[in-house]
Chain A
Amino acid sequence: MIEIRDLTKAYGERRVVDGLTFRVAAGRVTGFLGPNGAGKSTTLRMALGLDRPTSGTALVDGLPYARLTEPLRRVGALLDAQAVHGGRTAAGHLSWIAASHRLPARRVDEVLALVGLSDAAGRRIRTFSLGMRQRLGIAAALLGDPAALLLDEPVNGLDAEGIRWIRTLLRRLADEGRAVLVSSHLMAEMARTADHLVVIGRGRLLADTSTADFLAENGRRRVRVRAVDPAGLAALLAEAHPEAVPLGDGAWDVPDADPGELGALAASRRVVLIELSVTHDSLEEAFMRMTADAVEYRAVTA
């Protein structure tokens, strides 16, 4: 299990990670979400002992990463799939990582097979696509058969088949009892993959919740309603739901309404409805709403 406790990283006055606390539990996929520049990568780098926290701690099974005896057996990490030497072959790259822990050579073949790169084992990495590099990075993370995985944006550069593959893989790794943390800036993707969500913005914790709860709270329900007599409906909504928004074709969008109540209300006023449907906010919208104040770089709309 990985435990982040009151973790802070400051560069001068700028706090990239600001008092972050959460845990990555075994047996589930935790999605680590935030807009670009939210501090996800810095958090992962501190968890791996690469960057020193300004304050706070990041512990793996109760110990700082640097004090683990065989770190690659505890934590497998993919930080940047491009951070490989293009002159090495895929097998060569994995073999030096394996050598650091005296892992058997067959382990290199095993993880290459696991990520579907067996045929490319002898090819130089510089000929690899980004998708292949992501697979190689995941292979490297799995080398030590670790109890926990930290993957930074592993979906980047993968095609549809690759994304489905990684979704299945993450599920399986969690089902095997591992703690899996996957960072992403894509809300919808994470909602499909993760059991639990940790959302940060500007280095601060915005949400730490199960995916189901997050969907229930943030996938805001809206009712779309249309009537035979648009004027009658407009009058009714003006009175009961002033927040309703006309959609142009005589239909109205009513946020946070209950379809049953709305239908009953229309019936009591003898307004004949020809459409009454429930939609949910897209998760991407919920995510943007949540992180709206925490987005670091935003284009200004003139």
Chain B
Amino acid sequence: MSATTFPLRAEWAKFTTLRSLWTTPLLAVALSAGITAVVQFSYGKTDTSLTEDPMEGVFYGLNFGQVAVVCLGILLVGQEYASGTLATSLAAVPDRVRFFRGKLLLGAGLGLAVGVLSVAGQLAATEASVGLDLSAPGTARALAAGMLYHPLLLVLCLSLTTVLRNQTAALGLLSPMVFLGTTALSAIPGVRDVAQFLPDRAGLYAMRLHDAPDVHYGHTTGLLLAAAWTALAVAAGLRTLRRRDA
């Protein structure tokens, strides 16, 4: 075992030395908090789609901020394939389990930081504009789900990029899937029954306060569903990394 290499340190150093990497989580927080603030201050008190389920208003910005989270997950692995630094990375940390663990730890850590900060920002913007009853049933759960959704989504994208071994392919597959595909699929009545089990649909449902009649699972189960997808992707990523030539 190559126990004396420091994969997480290497990953952190890679992250901090590349501007396109370290600006992305900042962008995610700024987009989520900023857009929620703009929307809540402008329409928070008038638009019924925002007041019906208060979390709809709180997490309005998240729909945009998650674009940056997906990009970060793809970039953390994809830029190594795109630039060819993967060979150097694996020469430095040849144990691929340890290497991938370093990527996952950094991805999960960054995701959680983005989650906490962007939920805090969206919450603050909501409190300052329309106000929010924090004691209402389900609110704590919805906010926690909002925070956890970020690391799950980020690690999912990071792992799928490892499976695809190609940054462009990952961007091409994941961005439309998360931002167009599943939303569009959910609009088709027959397909909706299936599409609601996709990771982003399930994760976003966990952030809602009220039950939706046509969703076949509960809010907490939604978060677990998203976690299961992520776990599956991690396993697939590790399998690819261990089996394929770098």
Show the binding face of A for B, using Cβ within 8 Å. 45, 48-52, 65-72, 75, 77, 79-80, 82-89, 92-93, 95-102, 140
* Binary contact track B70-106/A, C-beta < 8 Å → 1, others 0: 0000000001000111011111111100000000000
Instruction: Please judge, given known A-B contacts A96-B13, A99-B13, A102-B6, whether A88 and B18 are in contact too, CB under 8 Å.
Output: yes
B18 touching A48, Cβ below 8 Å: no
B5 touching A70, Cβ below 8 Å: yes
Shortest beta-carbon distance from A55 to chain B in Å: 15
A45 touching B88, Cβ below 8 Å: no
Q: Which residue of B lies closest to A88 (CB)?
A: B17
Q: Which residue of A lies closest to B242 (CB)?
A: A52
A71 touching B5, Cβ below 8 Å: yes
A83 touching B2, Cβ below 8 Å: no
Which residues of B from 176 to 196 have beta carbons under 8 Å from A?
Answer: none
Report B-chain residues with C-beta under 8 Å of the C-beta of A92. Answer: 17-18
* Binary contact track B143-176/A, C-beta < 8 Å → 1, others 0: 0000000000000000000000000000000000
Report A-chain residues with C-beta under 8 Å of the C-beta of B90. Answer: 48-50
Instruction: Please judge, given known A-B contacts A51-B246, A66-B2, A69-B2, whether A79 and B87 are in contact too, CB under 8 Å.
Output: yes
* 30 pairs from A and B in contact (CB 8 Å cutoff): A45-B245, A48-B87, A48-B94, A49-B90, A49-B94, A50-B246, A65-B94, A66-B94, A67-B2, A68-B2, A69-B1, A69-B2, A69-B3, A69-B4, A71-B91, A83-B87, A85-B85, A86-B83, A87-B20, A89-B17, A96-B10, A96-B14, A97-B10, A97-B88, A99-B10, A99-B12, A100-B6, A100-B10, A100-B89, A101-B6
- Complex: A86 Cα to B85 Cα, angstroms: 11
Report A-chain residues with C-beta under 8 Å of the C-beta of B79. Answer: 85
B83 touching A85, Cβ below 8 Å: yes
* Binary contact track B1-38/A, C-beta < 8 Å → 1, others 0: 11111110110111001111000000000000000000
Partner of B17 from A66, A68, A93, A101 at Cβ < 8 Å? A93
Q: Which residue of A lies closest to B89 (CB)?
A: A100
Report A-chain residues with C-beta under 8 Å of the C-beta of B20. Answer: 87
- Complex: A279 Cα to B191 Cα, angstroms: 82
Report A-chain residues with C-beta under 8 Å of the C-beta of B7. Answer: 100
B84 touching A82, Cβ below 8 Å: yes
Q: What's the A-B contact tally at a CB cutoff of 8 Å?
A: 102
Instruction: Please judge, given known A-B contacts A70-B4, A85-B79, A100-B10, whether A95 and B94 are in contact too, CB under 8 Å.
Output: no
A84 touching B91, Cβ below 8 Å: no
Report A-chain residues with C-beta under 8 Å of the C-beta of B85. Answer: 83-85
Chain B interface residue count, Cβ-Cβ cutoff 8 angstroms: 31
Report B-chain residues with C-beta under 8 Å of the C-beta of A51. Answer: 245-246
Report B-chain residues with C-beta under 8 Å of the C-beta of A49. Answer: 90-91, 94
Report B-chain residues with C-beta under 8 Å of the C-beta of A69. Answer: 1-4
Q: Which residue of A lies closest to B20 (CB)?
A: A87
B91 touching A50, Cβ below 8 Å: yes
Report B-chain residues with C-beta under 8 Å of the C-beta of A71. Answer: 2, 5, 91-92, 94
A87 touching B245, Cβ below 8 Å: no
Instruction: Please judge, given known A-B contacts A71-B94, A87-B19, whether A50 and B87 are in contact too, CB under 8 Å.
Output: yes
The residue in B5, B89, B92 that gathers the most chain A C-beta atoms within 10 A of its C-beta is B92
The residue in A45, A50, A69 that gathers the most chain B C-beta atoms within 10 A of its C-beta is A50
Which 3 pairs show the lowest CB-CB distances between chains A and B? A83-B84, A92-B17, A100-B10
A84 touching B83, Cβ below 8 Å: yes
Instruction: Please judge, given known A-B contacts A70-B5, A96-B17, A100-B10, whether A80 and B87 are in contact too, CB under 8 Å.
Output: yes
- Complex: A89 Cα to B17 Cα, angstroms: 8
- Complex: A139 Cα to B23 Cα, angstroms: 28
- Complex: A45 Cα to B91 Cα, angstroms: 10
- Complex: A83 Cα to B87 Cα, angstroms: 8
- Complex: A51 Cα to B245 Cα, angstroms: 5
- Complex: A85 Cα to B10 Cα, angstroms: 15
Report A-chain residues with C-beta under 8 Å of the C-beta of B17. Answer: 88-89, 92-93, 95-96
- Complex: A100 Cα to B99 Cα, angstroms: 10
Instruction: Please judge, given known A-B contacts A88-B17, A89-B17, A95-B13, whether A140 and B2 are in contact too, CB under 8 Å.
Output: no
Instruction: Please judge, given known A-B contacts A69-B2, A70-B4, A100-B9, whether A87 and B18 are in contact too, CB under 8 Å.
Output: yes
Report B-chain residues with C-beta under 8 Å of the C-beta of A80. Answer: 84, 87
- Complex: A74 Cα to B87 Cα, angstroms: 16
Q: Which residue of A lies closest to B9 (CB)?
A: A99
Report B-chain residues with C-beta under 8 Å of the C-beta of A95. Answer: 13, 17
